[in-house]
Structure 1
Amino acid sequence: DALKDLDEMGIIRIGAEVKEGDILVGKVTPKGEKDLSAEERLLHAIFGDKSREVRDTSLRVPHGADGVVRDVKIFTRANGDELQSGVNMLVRVYIAQKRKIKVGDKMAGRHGNKGVVSRIVPVEDMPYLPDGTPVDIMLNPLGVPSRMNIGQVMELHLGMAARTLGIHIATPVFDGA
């Protein structure tokens, strides 16, 4: 079960949901006779000499880093990547986490607009549209002309037009394609 999301090279696949302790990169290293743990002695008793030769040194998900694997980058000397001496391959795994937003968090949009969360209020305390739909987020309108990010205004207008027309506009870049 721990190996179900690993590819043939022992590297986690993109899109896999991972939790604390899951293997990201499978790795075994040779070991000497004297560093056998109790579990390893049991494995040796069951499987013989094959289990004695290696120790599991796999890269695992650290405490509190649960999420979804978004990207895996593999660096090797064969590809011309510069690695430290003694390193033949370097694997970087990027994990995206969903977190609850809180006061003080910084948010940024696609158009250079950015801001800090100053207050979180219950939905009943938020303003609402004429049809009763509550507003999710409020931005300071002075942020648009001061930064001249007209793309933000265009996206807002197109989103309102699509909602009024009852259509969903899919943009492959932002819909995970």
Structure 2
Amino acid sequence: ALKDLDEMGIIRIGAEVKEGDILVGKVTPKGEKDLSAEERLLHAIFGDKSREVRDTSLRVPHGGDGVVRDVKIFTRANGDELQSGVNMLVRVYIAQKRKIKVGDKMAGRHGNKGVVSRIVPVEDMPYLPDGTPVDIMLNPLGVPSRMNIGQVMELHLGMAARNLGIHIATPVFDGASSEDLWDTVREAGMDSDAKTILYDGRTGEPFDNRVSVGVMYMIKLH
């Protein structure tokens, strides 16, 4: 839609775009060989300038629907290196929301990465005593193999912060100590081991062992 283009004909950041929408408005002069016989006749008689250009705008390709996240403009005037014959280059970055699927790679903030092996309905996921289902289940073998204890600390601290209704920042090299973590866990009313009973969503029976359940930041790796 033209309403989302700026005065230079470039799409604005934050615009929702779908297939066929214009990202960069552009016209290219027609060569004499590009004109039809009728256009050449009209041009010879009336000098019709509007027929000397053709629409070569950059449009959203098939399957490219999304939200414009960034636009970068490169020009020779700004000292940018461009190919011969190119005076301006515009790059448009579009973010797409995609559903997670089997085979996608997920990761946390501590080098803890893994591949999605199975996706089940939410009613089949393990759930807490209050009925809250978990979102992601991680293989516990990923902790001793990489020795990244930070993910366990983030898990417990995240759950404590959720229970207390607060936000916690733990910067690198200046984050919460083990004492701070366990003090916060106790303040949140959690058990001393920060674990909980988890129930099988398929049978409704509790698992044999208590499980570490918490809140942790996860991202999708490309």
TM-score, normalised via structure 1 length: 0.81
Q: Which residue of 1 aligns with 2:121?
A: 122
Instruction: Compare 39-48 and 120-129 and name the one that shifted more.
Output: 39-48
Report 1:1-177 matches (<5 A).
2-32=1-31, 35-36=34-35, 49-167=48-166
Q: 1:148 to 1:64 in 2, by over 3 A?
A: same
Give the drift of 1:49: 2.2
Gaps of 5+ in 2: 174-222
Q: Report if the CA contact (8 A) 2:42-2:48 is conserved.
A: no
Instruction: Compare 155-164 and 79-88 and name the one that shifted more.
Output: 155-164
Q: Report if the CA contact (8 A) 1:40-1:51 is conserved.
A: no
CA RMSD of aligned residues (A): 4.1
Q: Deviations over 1:42-87 (max 9, x none)?
A: 9999998242121110000000111111111111112221111001
Structure-2 separation of matches of 1:34 and 1:173: 64
Residue aligned with 1:4, SS: helix
Q: 1:153 to 1:42 in 2, by over 3 A?
A: farther
Instruction: Compare 136-145 and 24-33 and name the one that shifted more.
Output: 136-145
Work out the number of aligned pairs and report it. 173
Residue aligned with 2:78, SS: coil
Give the drift of 1:99: 1.0
Give the drift of 1:161: 1.6
Q: 1:125 to 1:84 in 2, by over 3 A?
A: same
Structure-2 separation of matches of 1:87 and 1:149: 49
Q: 1:48 to 1:125 in 2, by over 3 A?
A: farther
Q: Report if the CA contact (8 A) 1:75-1:91 is conserved.
A: yes
Q: 1:172 to 1:33 in 2, by over 3 A?
A: farther
Q: 1:40 to 1:73 in 2, by over 3 A?
A: farther
Structure-1 separation of matches of 2:136 and 2:54: 51
Q: Which of structures 1 and 2 has the larger relative contact order (alpha carbons within 8 angstroms, sep 6+)?
A: 2
Give the drift of 1:39: 13
Q: Deviations over 1:121-177 (max 9, x none)?
A: 111111001111000111123323433444433432332122111346699999xxx
Report percent identity of matched pairs.
99
Q: Report if the CA contact (8 A) 1:44-1:51 is conserved.
A: no
Q: 1:48 to 1:67 in 2, by over 3 A?
A: farther
Q: Report if the CA contact (8 A) 2:69-2:93 is conserved.
A: yes
TM-score, normalised via structure 2 length: 0.66
Instruction: Compare 44-53 and 55-64 and name the one that shifted more.
Output: 44-53
